[in-house]
Copies of this chain bind each other. A is one copy, B any other.
Amino acid sequence: MGMLKEDLAELAECGLPAALEAIGERWSFLILRGAFNGLHHFEEFQSTLGIARNILANRLGKLVQHGILARTPLPDDRRKIEYRLTEKGAELLPTMLALRQWGERWETGCISNPVLVDERDSQPIAKIAIHAHDGRELGLHDLRWMHAEDIKEIGTSRLRAVA
């Protein structure tokens, strides 16, 4: 994969540091995984993850501040607080899956429950991968770094995916 040795300063501005600021602390990612798997309450997170209560309170608070989780007291039992993924939080799913798949492939060596499946046919999802704008899957050698300014728009078959 060709790299640009220049523009290293620009690295500091990319989306990664911002993302890590929001979810890069110890436990944040595991809390999110819990949320994706159906945990919604303080005590559920605490007993499932075994995290210290003050750290959990702190992390939940930060995730809420960042708009990743929504905090709602339930109307029928106002002691109970429900933490639920917002759209912003839910959009971390591809990241989570990619990291989990990597861990399964290179660290644990085995696929673990529960498995995410396509609702239509109950078959496991494909491995998270890099695709061209037209849908072709790209390997590491099909890729290059480029300056945004140098990219020429061409007749885009089905762009819109780039966000």
Contacts and interface: CB of A to CB of B under 8 A. Distances in A.
B151 A114 contact: no
Interface residues of A, number: 96
A73 interface: no
Contacts of A133: 118, 123-126
User: Is chain A's interface secondary structure helix, strand, loop, or mixed overall?
Assistant: mixed
B147 A113 contact: yes
A127 B162 contact: yes
A143 B93 CA distance: 11
A126 B19 contact: no
A2 B114 CA distance: 11
A3 B107 CA distance: 25
A103 interface: yes
